[in-house]
Structures are given as structure tokens and as C-alpha cells.
Amino acid sequence: MIVIETFKGKSITEHRVEIVERKGTGHPDYMCDSIMDAISVALSKEYIKEFGTILHHNIDKGLLAAGRADKRFGSGKVLKPMELIIGDRATFKAAGKKIPVAEIAIDAAKKWIKDNLRFVDPEKHLKYRVVLAPGSEELTDIFLRPGKVRAANDTSAAVGYYPLSPTEKVVLELERYLNSKRFKDKYPETGEDIKVMGLRRGNVLDLTVAMPFLAPYIKSEKDYFERKETVHKEMLQFVERFKEFKNIEVYFNTLDEKGRGLGGIYLSLLGTSAEDADSGQVGRGNRVNGLISLNRPMGTEAAAGKNPVSHVGKIYNVLAHKIAKEIYEKIEGIKEVYVLLLSRIGTPIDQPQMATAQVLLERGRRINEIAKRAEEIFEQEFSRINKFCMELSRGEYPIC
């Protein structure tokens, strides 16, 4: 069933207070989400290669247990490696063939770390524990049933929206810039574990940024604060491009306190707090659009690592944002769109129990003027659901 209705609330930009968070590349929660999804992509590729189809798996339970590190000005060493625990379910054998699931999972994890974290050695700085096991007979059977479209393996709801607010754009783009190759080439002393918290009050935006400096580059407390001031100025210059705000303030590493030596500065050896301060877990990071927006509706599903052909906890979460974007961009006179999707376990994924668009219209527009076109967009997206799922399986849509 498809329902198109008028959104009765205010636009996000009309709220007096807006709070938005973004966890960056080296944050332990982001690492868990990204690594588990990379494993799903690798397994999907192997299943297709060997069997011509994606088999049952859900790599959506994972924990990154923090290690221990000793940090000093100009140096440091890892005392205890981090440990990555990889769960939950996968297909280990089909049609008489065995699949090296554990090896594929560990290789995918190592590759992600090597590609995204400059100073983490995936061989030396992490241990890997694979606790994957075969799935239940009923959920595995979904992949053996006839039909072109898989049945949903869960009763699950998802929500997506579009467009991003100016606050959301600043938070997202600032973290992406701070973790860009361009920035890291210019400031190699900065780590990847970045968190940006945005608070908008009216048309004034406060940004609180946490980003470690790397111990081997920092020779003294004085050196730290001098480099911090330089990087802070770079951030202020970056946010000047966002003209929607009367003023933007950036607060950087606010736990720092001069005169306390190593205890008063944010130093890291490897660029991630998982080295000794903070563990990570799948599902605690960003939603699939890369943000944690407290003023927006949010689902609680952990999309990362779920299989891309039957687990609606992944499929519908990404698809809801995609459909919202399509409706906004293809129909004139819309301020904001919220899309809600609900599956019923056992029903084909192209037949949601409910698909709803809540549309905030520009002044003078009416819902009956846009309803038919919005319904057509839903129908078009669900008609190509298998193509979308294969795109998901290749990692073509970000999930954090």
C-alpha cells in the first residue's frame, strides 16, 4: 500500500534548536559499521562468483574492543592490540562447496583498515575473532524459495528524508573535509577519529569538534597548542562558505587544558581512540545518510553488514532516503519529504506492507497535485528492487 500525505509539522529549518552529530572515519563505531559492511560486500561477491547468487548472511553484530597504548611526546607504542569480534551468521557450505567465510571476513577487515587508517597496521595492531555461524533453517530457506524477488526476512520499519538541512550539511562536510586526503596531506599530524557535534540556535551554529593529534608529530605541550591553533583557523576558514548562518563558532578539543602536560591534551598514537580509550559497536554510529540528527525521525536498525537481498533492515533504510531524494528532486513545490517503509516477514521485498511519503509543500501547493507522481516514483523504485539490491551488494551506497 502506498500513501501520500501532507506533513503537518514545521520544516527542520524553522525549529529554534537543531542538534546534529557525525562520527568520522576513525571513530570506533564508524569503524565497526564500515568493516562489517565491507565483509558483507566481500561475501556477496564470493557467493555470486561460486553460486551465481547471494546466499544467507548477516554480518551485523560486531565489537571493536579497545587495546592499550603508551603515548609520549614524539613517540609511543602499542601495549595491547585492539580486538575485532566479527558476528553473526553466514553460509559456510552450499551445493557441496565450502566457503572460507572466516578468511574472507578477516581479509576484508584488514583491507578496510589499510585503505582508511594511515597508522593502524592491520597485522600488528589488531586481533581478529570470527564468531560467525550458520543461520537458522527457516531464514536460510528464504534463499531457496522460488521467485524473482526475495522475501523479507524480518518485519521492520525504516525512515528516510530529504533534503539535508544547512546544519546537517555543515556537520557532514566538515568531517569529510577533515578526513580528506587533501587535509591529511596538509596536516598529517591529525588523526582520523573525528566527531563533529552541531548545535543550531536560531541562525547561530556552534560546532564542537574532537580530533586527536598524533604523538609522533608532537614534540611538546607548546607544540601541541601551536598546531591546534593552526588547525582551528583552518576549520574556521572552511565553515565561512556556509552563508545560511549569522555566525558559526567552532570549539576544538575542549577537554584540553594548558599546564597539565599529557593529561591536558588529546594525543593519539594510531589516530583512533580504539587504541586505548573507547570501544566500538555496530549500530551505534551514523544512520545510513551519514548523520545522527536528533530533530529527525530515526530508525533503530543497524543497516551495516546485513545481507543486501532479503534483510529489509538494510534495504529499506537506504531505499527510504533514496526515494525521498527522488520525490524531492523530481516534483516541484516541495520543501521536505519523509518516507516511511514497513515490511512484513515472508512478503516479497518489492511489496511493502506500507510505503508512505509525508510531504511538506511550498505555499500554494496541494497534496493532490503531487500525489500521483509520488506514487509513480514509489512504484518505479520497487519495480527495480533487484537491481537496487545488487548495487547494495557491491557497496555502491554508503551505510554510515
| pLDDT at residue 53 greater than cutoff 70 | yes
- Cα separation, 375 vs 366, in Å, equals 15
Distance (Å) of CA 148 to CA 292, 306, 339, 384: 35, 20, 25, 11
C-alpha span between 194 and 209 (Å, rounded): 7
Parse the chain into domains and list their residue ranges: 16-24+165-281
Q: Which three cell numbers stand for residue 45?
A: 561477491
* pLDDT number for residue 139: 62
Residue pLDDT, tens place only, 104-127: 999 999 999 999 999 999 999 999
Nearest residue to 349 (alpha-carbon basis) of 156, 161, 136, 160: 156
Checking if the pLDDT of 137 tops 90, the result is no
Whether 140 has a pLDDT exceeding 80, the answer reads no
Q: Residue 148 has what pLDDT?
A: 81
What pLDDT does residue 352 have? 97
pLDDT over threshold 90, residue 138: no
Contact 48, 122 (CB under 8 A): no
- Mean pLDDT for the stretch of residues 282-307: 95
Cβ atoms of 326 and 359 within 8 Å: the answer is: no
Residue 68: CB atoms within 10 Å: 12
Confidence class of residue 142 from pLDDT cuts 50, 70 and 90? Answer: low
Summarised one tens digit per residue, pLDDT across range 163-214 is 999 999 999 999 999 999 999 999 999 999 999 999 999 999 999 999 999 9
What is the distance between the alpha carbons of residues 323 and 349, in angstroms, rounded to a whole number? 15
Is 93:140 a contact under the CB 8 Å cutoff? no
Q: Which residues contact 318 (CB under 8 A, 6 or more apart)?
A: 160, 288, 303, 392, 397, 399
Average pLDDT over residues 269-282: 96
> What cell was used for 357?
511519503
Task: Compute the distance between CA of residue 400 and CA of residue 31 in angstroms, rounded to an integer.
Answer: 10
CATH number of 16-24+165-281: 3.30.300.340
Amino acid type, 135: G
Task: Give the pLDDT confidence of 356-385 residue by residue, as tens digits.
Answer: 999 999 998 999 999 999 999 999 999 999
pLDDT of the residue at 141 = 65
Per the CB < 8 A criterion, the answer to whether 132 and 102 are in contact is yes
Percent of the chain scored above 90 by pLDDT? 93
Tens of pLDDT, residue by residue over 215-249, are 999 999 999 999 999 999 999 999 999 999 999 99
Answer whether 142's CB lies under 8 Å from 310's CB: yes
Task: Report, as an integer, the average pLDDT of 326-333.
Answer: 97
Beta bridge pairs of residue 205 = 200, 248
CA angle 156, 400, 105 (to 5 degrees): 85
